[in-house]
Amino acid sequence: MSLLRRTALALALATAVHVLPQAALAETLAGAMAKAYENNPDLNAARAALRAIDENVTIAKSGMRPHVTGVAEAEASRTNLDVRPPRGIFGGQAGRQTDYVASSYGITISQQVFDGFQTLNRVRAAEANVLANRESLRAQEISILLAAVEAYANIARDQTIVSIRKQNIAFLREQVNAANARLNVGEGTRTDVSLAEAELASAKALLTAAVSSLKQSEAAYVQIVGEMPKGIKQPSPAKKAMPGSLDNAVATGMRENPNILAAMRGVDAAGYNVKEAEGAMLPGVSLQGSVYKSVNSEDGPADNLRGAVSARLTVPLYQGGAEYGQIRQAKERLGESQLLVDSARMEVQRTIASAHAQYEAANASIAAIRAQIEAANQALNGVIEERNVGQRTTLDVLNAQQNVLDAQEDLAAVQRNAVVASYSLLAATGSLTVRSQGLEVAEYRAEVHYEAVKDKWFGLRTVDGK
């Protein structure tokens, strides 16, 4: 092998060794969404809140279970009897002291047999609230995934704009040098040089602003994803689970959007709350049993064992009108919940239509702006040639370059808009999920915690051992 070939091979290997780790560190859009799904603190807080709501079912079911109370009492007393003898009579009993000690202990068990179905409806309302909050959690998961997409796309856009403005500065430096060269040979003017220098200074200021925007986008990315962005590339619009048409998107959203489903579960919970309030006007039946053992030492040790069983029937007649107000209040809240379902449906329909229109507009703009960039570059090259032969001025060149710059930045913006609009459409239909996008992260299953605690009778520790 010749020395030249060995040197070329060594350079190629060195380049590969340097590039491979950088490629391995590059973050994909799917990877950013997966990390946000797993690490975002707001999302993890919402999951903890749902686990707390799961416990409402256990709390409601406590009304169906017996209540056991242990009681222990102790009493001690001392009595001094001072008996004085009659006058003139000596002797007799000077006094006597008595001690009394009594203690008792036992248990009482009470069981609600019937309470007008209040406990039953309270449990059903708690179960409906759990399902409603599961959908609310799913809505927040979708919101975080969309926020990760937006943060990723913003960085890709800002990186492109920074690169474009750096290239513009290099171009303008060449124009300054060319204007000075023409001035030195008598073909240009000081005005041409000043125009080029002014445009260069303006371009440096614009680059500073672009770098600042990029840093802000990176900070937002860290807040949502939990890691610094690495190797961000221009993402493509969503493809998985994309609806074929606007009508399909609306139909899917009406069926799967979590905000609509949460509102519908809220109606179920409100209906059970009405029944619970009405149950306060029905009779109630409860049983109670107790066993007590007492020890009395006044006349010597004596053990007494006593047990009792009682049944109690309560019939509410009038409670100051509170029961009627609570029933009316519950019915009004039921009506409110039903109206919120209609509001959620209208909002989802509006969001879907808006996202679909933005997506179509962005796609159409991409094709038009690419054609604009190609034409602007050709025009710039032509103006430079004409300027070189004295038919155009430096100002014409700078204006043509600005047209190219504006078109390139517009392309970066509409590419970002196309990505965000496509994923916004998925989010509005309820289809932006870990499963639909095939994200490499364990899907959070809220039902696991619920099944573990819904019938739990004892225990202080949470499911995760806290």
**Cβ neighbours, 10 Å, residue 85:** 11
Q: Which pLDDT score is estimated for 95? A: 56
Q: Which amino acid is at 95?
A: G
Region class of 320: left (phi > 0), else alpha (psi between -120 and 50), else beta:
left
Global pTM? 0.84
Going by the DSSP 8-state scheme, the letter that residue 236 receives in this structure is P
pLDDT per residue rounded down to tens, the chain (466 residues): 443 344 333 334 333 434 334 444 678 999 999 999 999 999 999 999 999 999 999 999 999 999 999 989 888 877 765 555 555 555 555 556 667 788 888 999 999 999 999 999 999 999 999 999 999 999 999 999 999 999 999 999 999 999 999 999 998 898 888 888 878 887 778 888 898 899 899 999 999 999 999 999 999 999 999 999 999 999 999 999 999 999 999 999 999 999 999 999 999 999 999 999 999 999 999 999 999 888 876 555 567 888 899 999 999 999 899 999 999 999 999 999 999 999 999 999 999 999 999 999 999 999 999 999 999 999 999 998 888 887 888 788 888 888 999 999 999 999 999 999 999 999 999 999 999 999 999 999 999 999 999 998 888 888 777 7
CATH architecture of the domain with range 29-74+116-285+324-453: Up-down Bundle (1.20)
Question: What span, in angstroms and rounded, lies between the C-alpha atoms of 346 and 424?
Answer: 16
The answer to whether 49 and 94 are in contact (CB under 8 A) is no
Ranges of each domain in the chain: 29-74+116-285+324-453
Task: Give the distance from CA 31 to its chain's centroid.
Answer: 18
Q: What is the pLDDT of residue 86?
A: 57
Q: In the β-sheet with 284-296, what is the strand arrangement from edge to edge? A: 67-81, 96-114, 284-296, 303-314
Query: Looking at residue 121, what is its pLDDT?
Result: 96
Q: Which residues pair with 67 in a beta bridge?
A: 110
- The sign of the torsion formed by the CA atoms of 431, 435, 437, 439 equals positive
Q: Do residues 432 and 33 touch, judged by C-beta distance below 8 A?
A: no
Which residues have a Cβ under 8 Å from the Cβ of 79 and sit 6 or more positions away?
97, 98, 99, 100
Is the dihedral angle over the CA atoms 35, 36, 42, 46 positive or is it negative? Answer: negative
Tokens of 85: 């003898």
Of the candidates 72, 81, 80, 79, which has an alpha carbon nearest to the alpha carbon of residue 100? 79
User: What secondary structure does DSSP assign to 347-407, as a single string?
Assistant: HHHHHHHHHHHHHHHHHHHHHHHHHHHHHHHHHHHHHHHHHHTTSS-HHHHHHHHHHHHHH
- In 3-state terms the chain splits into helix, strand, coil percentages (rounded to 5) of 65, 15, 20
**Ranges of H-type helices in 26-117:** 29-39, 41-61
**How many CB atoms neighbour CB 13 within 10 A?**
10
Residue type at 304 in one-letter notation: N
Question: Are 241 and 171 contacting, i.e. CB atoms less than 8 angstroms apart?
Answer: no
Q: What is the pLDDT of residue 112?
A: 93
Task: State the Rg of the chain over Cα.
Answer: 40
